[in-house]
């Protein structure tokens, strides 16, 4: 599989050969994996508004985006903060639709399989946090234990990527931003990611960049997710750098918490015994007990079951407690005025399945900035010096070399 992050050279002498390779890759993908369909027979691919070409459009016109598998709207908040306009959304989960409508005033469309591609409005950016369960470690383990299919063979969720491919092929938006679990790169020995990457690049012609980002630089949670950013026209793009250390858990904790969030003696004793059993067997399973000075484990959709991955310490004389739904909202970077109109159980599921809003927000601003620049203008090549090795032996009068590297991007001020 080719590396990413470096646009292919545009040599006119290689165009026929490249086109042949792209056609061959597209045929191979259709034969070797569940195919993504083409647009309706006899219907030519549609183009988005003038903004899709970006280079000649008004710089003040808001870029239009669609919010696929939108959940409760993490992508929407992030891209609207970046000055973009949402023109369409969809999600099959009815409880998530309730939360989405309460906050954005519109109910998302339901099952994407029931929507004609031509009925989706033209747009400049496609956003999608497509379901991660078919590719996550926990999701795969659970499906295997139940004898169910996972990955692309999951009929309900695994083929949703090809719905994305259908939309990209038909509408040809200027850019897309996709999000999934870190394990996507390793699922099925890398074959899943290879199919996704080659579909986006070879079959659909996008320049694709990808990176695993840990949200702990902006929220008090260790949460690694892979992001794929693609551009229809070849553009230079660099993922923003995130702080290595961010806020601690105390920054999101409420001062007064109802007693119902404290674990019962029965549940707390069970979790301790369960952890001790697996520790004795050499396994790493157990609860995650944290204080306000720590960062939390990854919040998952199963948090409602026992809260074991994030338990807040309340002192030696009191059982630990779960996070409240509002604390979970803060942990995922949602604003304080975000409405939670559903039960605690549904809220835990929804926030556990969401994206971290500040992470997507930073990426959204970088994508918009890239689209606002002329497509054929290379970014500046910036010379960077590494940190001096201050622990080296300075007793000898020997010059110390500083590592040098180049990156594509604007010079930092």
Active-site amino acid positions: 132
Closest-CA residue to 296 (of 309, 306, 287, 285): 309
Token pair 């590494």 is found at 386
Q: Are 136 and 300 in contact (CB under 8 A)?
A: no
Query: How far apart are the C-alpha atoms of 337 and 107, rounded to whole Å?
Result: 19
What is the signed CA dihedral for 168, 72, 354, 245, rounded to 10 degrees? 110
- Angstrom CA distances, 125 to 73, 121, 231, stand at 15, 11, 9
Q: Are 237 and 227 in contact (CB under 8 A)?
A: no
Which two structure tokens, joined as six digits, stand for 154?
A: 């999951």
User: Which strands make up the sheet holding 85-89, listed edge to edge?
Assistant: 85-89, 64-68, 125-128, 175-181, 224-231, 207-214
- Angstrom CA distances, 315 to 190, 309, 321, 328, stand at 45, 18, 11, 21
Query: How far apart are the C-alpha atoms of 189 and 186, rounded to whole Å?
Result: 5
């Amino acid at each position: 599989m080719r590396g990413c992050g470096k646009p292919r050279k545009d040599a006119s002498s290689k165009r026929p050969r490249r086109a042949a390779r792209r056609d061959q890759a597209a045929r191979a993908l259709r034969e070797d994996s569940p195919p993504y369909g083409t647009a309706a027979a006899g219907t030519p691919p549609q183009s988005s508004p003038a903004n899709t070409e970006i280079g000649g459009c008004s710089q003040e016109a808001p870029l239009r985006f669609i919010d696929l598998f939108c959940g409760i709207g993490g992508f929407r908040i992030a891209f609207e903060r970046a000055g973009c306009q949402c023109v369409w959304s969809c999600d099959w989960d009815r409880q998530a639709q309730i939360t989405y409508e309460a906050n954005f005033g519109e109910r998302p469309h339901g099952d994407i399989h029931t929507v004609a591609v031509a009925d989706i409005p033209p747009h400049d950016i496609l956003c999608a946090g497509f379901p991660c369960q078919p590719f996550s470690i926990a999701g795969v383990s659970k499906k295997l234990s139940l004898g169910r299919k996972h990955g692309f063979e999951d009929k309900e969720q695994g083929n949703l990527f090809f719905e994305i491919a259908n939309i990209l092929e038909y509408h040809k938006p200027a850019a897309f931003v996709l999000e999934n679990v870190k394990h996507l790169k390793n699922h099925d020995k890398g074959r899943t990611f290879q199919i996704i990457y080659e579909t986006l690049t070879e079959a659909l012609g996008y320049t694709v960049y990808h990176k695993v980002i840990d949200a702990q630089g902006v929220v008090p949670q260790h949460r690694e997710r892979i992001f794929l950013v693609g551009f229809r026209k070849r553009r230079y793009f660099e993922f923003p750098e995130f702080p290595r250390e961010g806020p601690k858990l105390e920054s999101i904790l409420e001062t007064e918490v109802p007693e119902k969030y404290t674990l019962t003696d029965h549940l707390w004793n069970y979790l301790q015994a369960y952890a001790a059993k697996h520790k004795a067997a050499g396994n790493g399973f157990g609860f995650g007990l944290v204080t306000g000075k720590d960062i939390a484990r990854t919040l998952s959709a199963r948090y409602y079951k026992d809260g074991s991955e994030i338990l807040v310490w309340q002192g030696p004389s009191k059982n630990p407690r779960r996070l409240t739904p509002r604390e979970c909202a803060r942990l995922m970077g949602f604003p304080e005025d975000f409405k939670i109109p559903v039960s605690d159980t549904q809220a835990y599921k929804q926030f556990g399945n969401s994206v971290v809003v500040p992470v997507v927000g930073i990426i959204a601003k970088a994508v918009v900035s890239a689209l606002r620049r002329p497509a054929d203008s290379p970014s500046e090549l910036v010379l960077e010096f590494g940190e001096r090795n201050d622990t080296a032996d300075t007793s000898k009068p020997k010059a110390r070399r500083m590592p040098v590297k180049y990156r594509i991007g604007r010079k930092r001020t």
